[in-house]
Each structure stands twice: as C-alpha cells, then as structure tokens.
A and B are shown apart, each in its own frame.
Chain A
C-alpha cells in the first residue's frame, strides 16, 4: 500500500513497510549514517540518522522507524542538525586524532562526517581509546582504538559470513570489537574474506599491507619482481578510474608496473583456465567413478571458502575440489617450470600477485604453499594496494602508454573474466566437463542461466543421457543455506557447486576499493562481461596454449 508523508513541507509517496530512512533516501534526502547497511537488520547504534517527527517527544532514528500514514518529518531542523553534530563530536572525543597517519585518510566516513557537520574545534575532551592494534593475522589487521562500535563488521561477519570471528567484547566504555578470548585474529575462526574491511567506516579494520615489501623488493638489485594480475583486479581498476576504453586498462597497468621496475608483468588468466580444466577433470573423474561421497563437488578456488570448510564443515572436505587457487597454480609454476621465462633462478624471483582479495594473503602464507620457507607468491597486493603503490611512484594509469603483458601468458579465454563474478566459473566448468564427458564434442553445449536467480542459482546441462546440475552461490550464509537445503531434501541432481565467499563473487571481494553498497560490484561485473566478449577463445580448452 502506498501513502503520503510530509517531509520538510514536501509531500512524498512511500510504500508501507519501508523504513523512514530508505523512503527518505529514495526521494533524494541526504541522511548521514554510520551503522546502517542495506539488506541488514537495523541497529540504530550510531544514531546519526535521527529526524524530527511531529508528535514524538524525542528524535527518531530513521533507519529503524517504519513509515506511517500522515507522518510529518523534518530532516534538517535546527534540533536535528545540532544533535547530529554533537553525536559526531562525541565519537571524535575518544578517537585518536592521527588522520595524517591513518590508512583511511581521505576515505574515512568519520572524517567525511566531521567535515560535513562543520566541526572545527574539539568540544568534548574524553580519554583516548588506548587499545593495542592486532597484527596477528596474515590478512586482516585490527586497530580497536579507531573503532566507533557501529557493529557493521560484526553483522557482516555473523549474518553474511556466519563466522562470528569478531564480536563485541565487554561493555560500556570498555567495549571493543575483538576475537574470542581477545586472543588475536590468527587464533580466531576468521576466514580472511575481508568483508569486514569493506564495511568498516574508519580504519579499525584494514588489510596487512604488502606495499612496502614490494617496494623493498623492487629496490633490490638481486631480485626480479614479477607481477601477475587477476582479471577481476583489472575490471575493478577500470571501474574505479572510470576508464572509457576497457581494453587499455591492462596494457596501462603493465606499463605503469614496468615503469616502477617490474621485470615481467603477466596476466593471471591462463592460470585460471588451467585451474578450470584441472577442476573439470576432477569432476569428470568423480562422475565416471560414481563417487557419491564426494558429490556434489565444491569449488576450491576461493581460499576463504576452503578455510570455512576446514573450520566449520570438515565433513564436506571430501567434496572439495583438490586443486589450489589460480594464484598458487601460477605462483608455483612460475617458480618451478617458468623461472627461465624471467631469465633468472627461482630463488631470485619475487612474485607479486594483484588480487581483488585479502584471503589470498592468507593463502600465500600457508605452509603448504611454501618451499624451503619461501612462499610461491611472495607478496599479494589488493586492488587498493595497487593504487597505493602506483601513487607512491607518482604514476597515473590513464596517462600511461599501452604495453602488452608478457608472453606467453597473454591469451586467456573469456573464462578468466567469467571467474570474477558468481556463476561465471560454473559455466566454464560445465563446458569443460561437457567436453570431457562427450568425447571432446561441444557443439550442443547449452548453459542456460535462469532469469530469476533470486532464490535458485542452478541450471542443468544435458550430456548424452545424463543431466548434470551446476549451481553457484556467493556469500557463506547463502552457501551454507544451499548446502543445507540439498541435504534436507536429499537431492543428488546437483553435481557441482561454485562457492565464492564474498557476495557477488570476486567483484565484491574484500580487497576491492572500499565502496558502500553493491553498485560498484555490479559495475565491475558489467565490465568483466564486456571484456569477455572480446576474448579470442570462449572457453579454456579452446586453445592449446592454456594447457600448460
């Protein structure tokens, strides 16, 4: 049912059941918030979204207040503006004022609000937060002193990722967001997805930076720094810089990295192709052996998902695919078979991956991925860090000249781009499995993505007499609900499930530039889909070069 409410002497039409905040935002009213997240339960913790409602004595938090017929609302009365300003001033009273040295300087929501509220002097003098930062994890770092207790990360960790590695500990002014027994994130159940970093308004959560490591390696004469860049990272650079010609992003990144002293810059795409081919072989094997214990096969390309399975669902371990993520497929082959390409010994190669992911940092640090104590991937840069690195060297991607990525890894199929969003890998997998099970013939391959993917993200592919079921889910909560449903209904018509720990797949990854909402991720997906169309090969096995 629709009805009208009055806002700032203007009538607006609203839908019954909406919250006041979403109705106001739909009509272009700017309401500041720190704790609100779309699609999450409202908490009303930050109280910045307060508005004045006629007939109510107190200010109302619009994020948790449903609209009512005939409501009279004022969003910018003197009382509201004063209240908001005081709230930000109070948040600042115990905040360490070290913006100049802060990770999020310039991108901080609190900083932005302080500017917006025209705060020019310190009004409340509180005791500063004195809590120690936690650098124990290999991927995510915490600085509780900068935490404003908005609970966004806590809700993300609990509601979307079902992990609850961080939660509110203690109470009152001693409250902090911390891991179990305050032991540090490395001892917690954290799956390193980095979604908490994405939602943190300040720098209370950030990634363990590898920028300085990389800079150090570049300066060393006895090291050959080799970059390899994930297609998902490229589409996100395109999206961030709003580049018109999408094809030039990669060549320009290559040129920029060469300028700062990279020996080689490769495209990660071929490793993704190899990963899909390898995983499809495993799937075909399992199908032919009728191996029901390991069905449906779960993808293993997402390190966060693998960590989740290891920690929370050990019973699903046999179903997990057995190949490492593309990053390590590439890192390992670079340091073993392909050291000659770089023209040096493998000890002298310093491999750096550029990823939209912070879990890859964790993956690179795992013991199984090291040899003689040296990881196959020496450093992992997130897209954020790539920007930081290039900025430090004074390079601007749009102004670079084009330079092709180095041979021979520059002929990935479109599957490499598909890999970056949820559902893409499942399609490529379906194709490869189809090819393997149909004696190499792929003429009748059809992969139909259902139009309404809201509830069910699965499709069937007919191979001869058999029907193969492929499904794709993103976000641990969705994956867990889907697996649970399969178990409940005792279904065995699904054979492969692609799982990505971040909502939307790698386009919404924890290492992407910080963005509110899903619009940026959607944009990145669109760019990836555009890029797919220009690839020479559609699927990994369409060309021999990728079969390393």
Chain B
C-alpha cells in the first residue's frame, strides 16, 4: 500500500501546503477512499497535522473515509435532478439497496452516494453506477437496474 502512496508523493516534491488536495485526490483514486493510515502518511509527508487534513477532507463531499462497494451508485441531486424527482429516487434506492446515503452494505456489493450536479441536466434525473450513466431515471428503471445487477452477481457465483 505504501508504495502506491509514495508514487503520488513523488509527483509533489516541494511538499507545499497547497499540494494537499491534489495528493488526497490521487490517494483516493488508488485506494478508493482515505484511510487513517493514508491520512497519517500524508500528514507526515506534508507536515500538516492529521486533524487539519481530516478537517479539510471532511469539508469536501468528494472524499470518502470508508471503502466503496463493488457497485458504487452516485445519485445526482443537482437542481434539475431535484425538480425531476431525485428525492423520490433516493428514497427508493435506499429501500432497494437497504443502505443509507453515504453507506456501503455489509458484503461490499453496493454503496450509495448523493452528489451535487454531474452536469447532464438535460438528461435529469440521472444515476451513475461505476462510471456508467443511466439517464431519465424512473422508479421502474431503478428497480430493474438493481435487479439486473443482483441477477448478474447471483449467476456469477
């Protein structure tokens, strides 16, 4: 694990304070989330206190502190999606996946995250699952999406 982090550190040899967020992004890209060990490593590298880094990272929605599931649902909750029913979709999705916003389920299959505007307002409401976009989402569409993933996973067992 440390090797991956070091490769990112090498891209920022000046150890400046403003390198913090790019480093955190890089680390999250590799690990999927920011673990305590990683934050401590960054803290030692940049000489910024762990708490300060934790404070910065919790300020932004983009950083996660736990692993994501195999299927990571990102539900857009921008203005356009909101008026076209993202709230209803969220409630339905929480029911379907049996997890709340920001959580990962026990077997690590699903995780759910509400994000602010993805930038495809013309196609609202939309959901992104592992970088695949599902546009003009409806409740039925949502159900069949989750069902198809479940079936796919079951058949591959």
Contacts and interface: CB of A to CB of B under 8 A. Distances in A.
A164 B58 contact: no
Interface string A57-90: 0000000000000000000000000000000000
A169 B52 contact: no
Contact of B58 (A158, A170, A189): A170
A167 B51 contact: yes
Contacts, number: 37
A165 interface: yes
The residue in A163, A169, A189 that gathers the most chain B C-beta atoms within 10 A of its C-beta is A169
Given A170-B59, A171-B59, A181 B54 contact: yes
Given A170-B59, A181-B36, A164 B54 contact: no
A171 B55 CA distance: 9
A166 interface: yes
B138 interface: no
Contacts of A189: 49-51
A113 to B, nearest CB: 27
Interface residues of B, number: 11
A164 B55 CA distance: 11
Contacts of A369: none
Interface string A149-169: 000000000100001111111
A171 B51 CA distance: 14
B117 to A, nearest CB: 17
B59 A164 contact: no
Interface residues of A, number: 15
Contacts of B51: 164-167, 179-180, 188-189
A256 B50 CA distance: 46
Contacts of A179: 51
Interface string B21-54: 0000000000000001001000000000111101
Contacts of A170: 58-59
B50 A180 contact: yes
Nearest to B60: A171
Contacts of A158: 49, 52
Contacts of A180: 39, 49-51, 54
A180 B54 CA distance: 6
B103 to A, nearest CB: 16
B132 to A, nearest CB: 30
Contacts of B49: 158, 163-164, 167, 180, 189
A167 B36 contact: no
A189 B51 CA distance: 9
Contacts of A167: 49, 51-52, 54-55
A235 B55 CA distance: 40
Nearest to B56: A167
A166 B49 CA distance: 10
Interface string A294-316: 00000000000000000000000
A494 B39 CA distance: 38
A165 B51 CA distance: 6
A163 B49 CA distance: 8
Contacts of B55: 167-169
A198 B36 CA distance: 30
Contacts of A181: 36, 39, 50, 54, 65
Which 10 A/B pairs are nearest by Cβ-Cβ distance? A164-B49, A180-B51, A167-B55, A180-B50, A170-B58, A167-B51, A171-B59, A180-B54, A169-B58, A164-B51
Interface of B: 36, 39, 49-52, 54-55, 58-59, 65
11 contacts: A158-B49, A163-B49, A164-B49, A167-B55, A169-B54, A169-B58, A170-B58, A171-B59, A179-B51, A181-B39, A188-B51
Given A164-B51, A170-B58, A171-B59, 8 more contacts: A164-B49, A166-B51, A167-B49, A180-B39, A180-B51, A181-B36, A181-B39, A189-B49
